[in-house]
Amino acid sequence: MSLSYFYMLLLTPMVLDSTSKALENGTFGGNNNSTNNNTGPIIPLDISCPALTQRPPPRNVSDLRADDIKAVIGLGDSVMAGFGAKGVQNEQYISIKTLKEARGVSFAMGGDQGIITIPNLIQYYSHSLYGASVGDQIFTVCFGDQFCPGGQYKAAIDVLNGAQSGARSVNLDHELDYILSQLDQAYSDNRIQKTDWKLLTLFIGSNDVCHACAVNTSLPEHYAINVQLVVERVRLTIPNVLIQIIGMIRVDEIFVATLPYASYCQPFPRSDFVLHDHECGCAHSETNRTIMANLLPQYNTALEKVASFYQSPLYANDSFAVVFHPLPVDILSFPIQAIRKLMYTPISQKPQQLEFQADAPIYCPTDSDRLQLK
Ligand SMILES: *[C@@H]1O[C@H](CO)[C@@H](O)[C@H](O)[C@H]1NC(C)=O
Ligand SMILES: *[C@@H]1O[C@H](CO)[C@@H](O)[C@H](O)[C@H]1NC(C)=O
Ligand SMILES: *[C@@H]1O[C@H](CO)[C@@H](O)[C@H](O)[C@H]1NC(C)=O
Ligand SMILES: *[C@@H]1O[C@H](CO)[C@@H](O)[C@H](O)[C@H]1NC(C)=O
Ligand SMILES: *[C@@H]1O[C@H](CO)[C@@H](O)[C@H](O)[C@H]1NC(C)=O
Ligand SMILES: *[C@@H]1O[C@H](CO)[C@@H](O)[C@H](O)[C@H]1NC(C)=O
Ligand SMILES: *[C@@H]1O[C@H](CO)[C@@H](O)[C@H](O)[C@H]1NC(C)=O
Ligand SMILES: *[C@@H]1O[C@H](CO)[C@@H](O)[C@H](O)[C@H]1NC(C)=O
């Protein structure tokens, strides 16, 4: 088995070093005193925004606000699984602690106390929100051309986060199998209703582009079909859902940016195994990185097409929508805070390049803001 699928590891030294410090510092934590009013609901994150005026649940997916979302669902890879997301532990890049999936802090699906994540930002307005992941788990893995071994999900931790480390678009079906079984359970346990509004975040493709120089099934044409198929399956099986597809980032740049980290690029103790050499197969030569960089726009075009396909009157209806959020992120920064505001920003007004600022203010939605569909 090759470890080349863990492209998230590439992020470990440069971004996560500061992430772990910021987590300790509480910089990502907003106001970590969510129960400061004994009478109030217990929420994981207090963002000190004004409450939204209550109203009956909307009937139209184009009318959604954060307080309408009752479940969050995730499909993706190691980034969504929170692989290594608590950063370098005990100053060792490669250690069992660092190599965990910190699902509770995943930007798209985490629900740990005091962490700024999409679910926690939603739960501030929707107290019974279901689906966010909590805590850590040992890393999961998908490998080969299309294989994710069974039995890797830990429902108590993952909840409705179907992401698996190493997953490519071809593995989305496997992930959705898990989600559908968990949703059935949640309906029958009365945790959520079928008619509740759900926000499904899809963030996949970095492992596809990491193999695009080597296997045809990782090329944009296959990727487009895989994504379209899973979205169609969601449409036919999950009622009342808004799918937000997050655009792909420049994985090839991460590889280059991590090269200077000498200790990260050292072999494991008592071996000559250098992890960095095995990550993201196509990133290891300039020629292949050029292929990756040149293909990247095609992956994003594929995602954009899936979203626009479902905007056609043939498929769009009041209970289902797909929106594409490109993520032109400066790879030396980090996308967490950026995405939140994007959810409220029409595509036409989105910035050209996003940069991470640890002290960026949290956007407080108003009564008239809606989750944008275009
Ligand atoms: C942690 O907090 C200290 C004091 O508030 C601040 O000077 C420092 O920059 C913070 N570090 C990070 C990584 O946010
Ligand atoms: C928030 O508070 C909890 C409980 O006191 C603590 O475990 C957690 O580390 C804190 N989080 C941050 C980001 O400070
Ligand atoms: C949390 O809020 C309570 C009540 O407002 C306050 O007494 C307490 O000092 C706060 N704790 C922190 C760590 O800010
Ligand atoms: C705390 O609760 C009291 C009433 O129980 C309310 O008047 C006050 O506004 C609340 N404070 C916050 C910060 O929510
Ligand atoms: C739902 O919203 C869309 C877009 O605003 C609109 O075209 C459609 O007519 C609405 N449906 C109903 C039943 O109001
Ligand atoms: C590019 O990747 C392919 C597939 O892994 C490999 O066979 C080839 O040698 C690589 N090319 C270069 C120039 O490294
Ligand atoms: C992959 O695609 C290339 C170009 O379309 C083709 O020449 C090659 O035969 C394909 N390889 C496989 C294994 O299908
Ligand atoms: C929207 O489409 C889904 C999937 O085809 C279908 O189950 C649902 O009944 C449709 N809703 C409306 C209001 O037409």
Give the integer Cα–Cα distance in Å for 280 and 349: 33
Cβ atoms of 209 and 81 within 8 Å: the answer is no
- Taking the CA of residue 21 as reference, the ligand 1 atom at the shortest distance is 13
> What is the structure's pLDDT at 4?
32
pTM of the full predicted structure? 0.78
Give the pLDDT confidence of 270-295 residue by residue, as tens digits: 555 555 565 688 888 899 999 999 99
User: Which listed ligand is nearest to 30 at the C-alpha?
Assistant: 2
> What is the structure's pLDDT at 349?
57
Kindly state if the Cβ of 320 falls inside 6 Å of ligand 8.
yes
- DSSP assignment of 269-284 equals TTS---GGGGSSGGGG
User: Which listed ligand is nearest to 289 at the C-alpha?
Assistant: 6
> What is the structure's pLDDT at 333?
55
- Taking the CA of residue 214 as reference, the ligand 6 atom at the shortest distance is 4
Ligand 4, atom 5: closest residue by C-alpha? 39
**32 CA distance to ligand 2 centroid (A)?**
6
**170 CA distance to ligand 6 centroid (A)?**
22
Give the integer Cα–Cα distance in Å for 199 and 131: 10
> What is the structure's pLDDT at 263?
57
> What is the structure's pLDDT at 204?
94
Ligand 4, atom 8: closest residue by C-alpha? 37
Ligand 5 pocket mutation pick from 62, 197, 373 by most atoms within 8 angstroms of CB: 62
Give the integer Cα–Cα distance in Å for 45 and 193: 24
φ and ψ at residue 350, rounded to 5 degrees: -75, 145
User: Which listed ligand is nearest to 15 at the C-alpha?
Assistant: 1
- DSSP assignment of 28-87 equals TSSB--TT-STTS---S-B--PPPPPP-PPPSSGGG--GGGEEEEEEEESHHHHTBTTT-
Give the integer Cα–Cα distance in Å for 323 and 345: 12
> What is the structure's pLDDT at 15?
39
> What is the structure's pLDDT at 150?
86
**299 CA distance to ligand 2 centroid (A)?**
38
Number of other CB atoms surrounding residue 268 within 10 Å = 10
Ligand 6, atom 3: closest residue by C-alpha? 214
> What is the structure's pLDDT at 27?
43
Give the pLDDT confidence of 95-133 residue by residue, as tens digits: 556 567 889 988 889 999 988 888 999 999 999 999 999
> What is the structure's pLDDT at 143?
74
Cβ atoms of 161 and 109 within 8 Å: the answer is yes
Cβ atoms of 373 and 321 within 8 Å: the answer is yes
**184 CA distance to ligand 8 centroid (A)?**
19
Question: Measuring from each residue's beta carbon to the nearest atom of ligand 2, which residues come in under 6 Å?
Answer: 23, 26, 29, 32, 113-114
Kindly state if the Cβ of 319 falls inside 6 Å of ligand 8.
yes
Ligand 3, atom 14: closest residue by C-alpha? 33
> What is the structure's pLDDT at 374?
78
Q: Which of 80, 24, 47, 9 is nearest to 277 (CA)?
A: 9
What pLDDT tens digit does each residue of the chain (374 aa) get?
Answer: 233 333 333 333 333 444 444 444 444 444 445 444 555 667 898 888 899 999 999 999 999 999 999 999 999 988 888 776 665 555 555 555 656 788 998 888 999 998 888 899 999 999 999 999 998 888 778 876 667 888 899 999 999 999 988 889 999 999 999 999 999 999 999 999 999 999 999 999 988 999 999 888 899 999 999 999 999 999 999 999 999 999 988 877 776 766 665 555 555 555 555 555 656 888 888 999 999 999 999 999 999 999 999 999 888 899 999 999 887 766 555 443 444 444 555 555 555 665 556 566 778 889 999 988 87
Kindly state if the Cβ of 213 falls inside 6 Å of ligand 6.
yes
> What is the structure's pLDDT at 48?
86
Domains observed in the chain: 60-81+104-135+145-252+282-347 (3.40.50)
Q: Which of 137, 134, 135, 246 is nearest to 199 (CA)?
A: 246
